[in-house]
């Protein structure tokens, strides 16, 4: 593979794509024929456009005049040496006033090639792959230098990088591992949180996938090549991409940006607890903590997997074939019995909540006021969530204490639903009685009127 850097084609001008989208939306609004909304949409469009122009200022900067490297490289029209100059307007370094010669050396004030690209003037040309970390580190590892631009910027990327498998193997002479520019691009390096950056959370998967999903590229290495496919099937990826929830982990969140692991994590296998801290605390109190450690099993990934973490259900615990417990516990073991007990408690609470929900829904449908009872029932649902997390203590009494509490709440809500339906029945009965009484009264009246009609002429009203 050529350096992954140069061949990504998703750089069509962001605002233009956006304007197209916005355009479609705006047209929809015009079609709907509401002139006021049309104006509002137009105004919003203008404001957003201004914001976009403001944002894109950095990225579509004019290249400085009088820099011979840029001027000559743009003019050459060569497929290898021209692209660096063409991509450069979108590079964060240009925005900070850093130019070609700051990385490559040479003399940007001289317009002929030999003079400009003179090794005597520090010109180093295209760096070797192995030399790239040091090249970036020239500035990025220097506190004094970085301080002038951004005092909060970390300066440990290079140092960390050499603790990772990538860095260690690069030192050992393997050029196929990721270097700085495999993850950050080159000549179009963007701020790491720029939505177009290769390091932007939703884009990292593609960045790693360029090597880690490429069987051909990784032939000869003893690592799995299905990690990306597996991750893309996970609840984490779904949460990140479908819900746009950036708190769900992508590759670098678990594996670290530069180092072997993220800060404060001793092993990647223990990374889950950085987010699922409550669950991790419970696991630490469980009999599995010791048992797993003694046979070298990782705490969370043993049951949940590492890349293909799925949404969980109560069927995961118990003694049927879908439960993970039976992978290790025989039917005569303590763990097996306790697994069955834990599941029974969860099932009872879940069924109780379902029962109460159903009856309250029916009552509500029939027009009864049950919002208070419905609100109280959410208390039982919360307890069910807590009980599911408490499974990680693998102690049936802990789970049962919780579920009993929830069952009480749910059965009270259920009783309110039952009462509401009884009230409804009572009202219906009352209604029917009233109807019958009214009917009787009406027929009595009708009879009376008929009788009066019959008696009328006999009273001797004179016929004319």
Long-range residue pairs from 129-137, CB within 8 A, at least 24 positions apart, any chain: 129/3, 129/170, 129/175, 129/179, 130/170, 130/171, 130/173, 130/175, 132/179, 132/180, 132/181, 133/158, 133/161, 133/162, 133/167, 133/170, 133/179, 133/180, 134/158, 135/103, 136/180
Q: Is 303 in the site for ligand HEC (CB under 6 A)?
A: yes
CB of 380 to ligand HEC, least distance (A): 15
**Segment interacting with ligand HEC (CB under 6 A) among 101-109, 373-381, 407-415, 455-463:** 101-109
Give the SS3 label for residue 165.
helix
Q: Is 136 in the site for ligand HEC (CB under 6 A)?
A: yes
Determine which residue in the list 166, 188, 400, 416 makes contact with ligand HEC, applying CB under 6 A.
Answer: 166
| Residue 382: both structure tokens together | 């919360």
Q: Is 180 in the site for ligand HEC (CB under 6 A)?
A: yes
Residues 20-59 that bind ligand HEC (CB under 6 A): none
Q: Is 334 in the site for ligand HEC (CB under 6 A)?
A: yes
Q: Are 66 and 99 in contact (CB under 8 A)?
A: no
Determine which residue in the list 20, 165, 366, 452 makes contact with ligand HEC, applying CB under 6 A.
Answer: 165
Please give the Cα distance from 130 to 269 (Å, whole number).
29
Determine which residue in the list 41, 84, 345, 414 makes contact with ligand HEC, applying CB under 6 A.
Answer: 84
Please give the Cα distance from 380 to 411 (Å, whole number).
9
Q: Are 213 and 228 in contact (CB under 8 A)?
A: yes
CB of 134 to ligand HEC, least distance (A): 9
Please give the Cα distance from 38 to 395 (Å, whole number).
61
**Segment interacting with ligand HEC (CB under 6 A) among 23-31, 210-218, 421-429, 439-447:** 210-218
CB of 431 to ligand HEC, least distance (A): 45
Residues 424-443 that bind ligand HEC (CB under 6 A): none
The alpha carbon dihedral of 301, 304, 309, 311 has a sign of: negative
Please give the Cα distance from 360 to 357 (Å, whole number).
5
For residues 245 and 422, which CB has a smaller minimum distance to ligand HEC in the complex?
245
Q: Is 236 in the site for ligand HEC (CB under 6 A)?
A: yes
CB of 55 to ligand HEC, least distance (A): 15
Determine which residue in the list 41, 59, 188, 306 makes contact with ligand HEC, applying CB under 6 A.
Answer: 306
For residues 29 and 346, which CB has a smaller minimum distance to ligand HEC in the complex?
346
For residues 142 and 372, which CB has a smaller minimum distance to ligand HEC in the complex?
142
């Amino acid at each position: 593979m050529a350096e992954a850097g140069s061949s990504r084609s998703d750089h069509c001008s962001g605002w233009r794509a956006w304007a197209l989208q916005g355009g479609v939306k705006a047209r929809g609004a015009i079609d709907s024929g509401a002139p006021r909304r049309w104006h509002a949409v137009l105004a919003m469009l203008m404001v957003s456009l201004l914001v976009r122009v403001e944002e894109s200022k950095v990225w579509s900067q004019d290249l400085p005049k009088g820099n011979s490297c840029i001027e000559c490289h743009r003019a050459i029209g060569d497929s290898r040496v021209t692209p660096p100059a063409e991509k450069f307007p979108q590079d964060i370094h240009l925005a900070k006033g850093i130019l070609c010669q700051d990385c490559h050396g040479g003399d940007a004030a001289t317009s002929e090639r030999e003079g400009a690209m003179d090794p005597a003037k520090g010109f180093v040309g295209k760096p070797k792959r192995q030399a790239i970390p040091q090249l970036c580190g020239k500035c990025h590892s220097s506190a004094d230098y970085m301080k002038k631009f951004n005092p909060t910027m970390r300066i440990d990327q290079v140092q960390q990088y050499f603790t990772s498998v990538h860095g260690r193997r690069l030192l050992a002479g393997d050029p196929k591992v990721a270097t700085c520019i495999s993850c950050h691009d080159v000549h179009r390096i963007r701020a790491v949180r720029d939505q177009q950056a290769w390091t932007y959370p939703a884009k990292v998967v593609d960045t790693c996938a360029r090597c880690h999903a490429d069987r051909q590229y990784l032939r000869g290495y003893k690592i799995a090549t299905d990690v990306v496919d597996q991750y893309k099937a996970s609840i984490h990826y779904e949460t990140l991409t479908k819900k746009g929830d950036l708190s769900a982990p992508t590759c670098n969140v678990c594996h670290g940006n530069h180092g072997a692991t993220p800060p404060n994590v001793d092993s990647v296998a223990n990374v889950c607890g950085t987010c699922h801290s409550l669950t991790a605390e419970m696991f630490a109190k469980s009999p599995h903590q010791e048992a797993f450690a003694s046979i070298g099993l990782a705490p969370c990934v043993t049951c949940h997997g590492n890349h293909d973490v799925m949404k969980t259900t109560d069927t995961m615990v118990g003694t049927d074939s879908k439960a993970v417990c039976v992978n290790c516990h025989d039917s005569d073991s303590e763990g097996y019995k306790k697994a069955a007990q834990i599941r029974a408690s969860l099932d009872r609470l879940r069924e109780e909540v379902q029962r109460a929900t159903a009856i309250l829904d029916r009552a509500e449908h029939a027009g009864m006021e049950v919002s208070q009872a419905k609100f109280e029932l959410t208390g039982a649902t919360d307890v069910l969530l807590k009980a599911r997390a408490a499974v990680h203590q693998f102690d049936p009494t802990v789970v049962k204490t919780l579920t009993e509490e929830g069952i009480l709440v749910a059965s009270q809500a259920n009783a309110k639903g039952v009462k509401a339906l009884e009230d409804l029945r009572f009202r219906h009965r009352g209604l029917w009685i009233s109807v019958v009484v009214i009917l009787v009264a009406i027929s009595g009246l009708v009879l009376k009127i008929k009788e009066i009609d019959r008696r009328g002429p006999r009273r001797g009203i004179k016929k004319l």
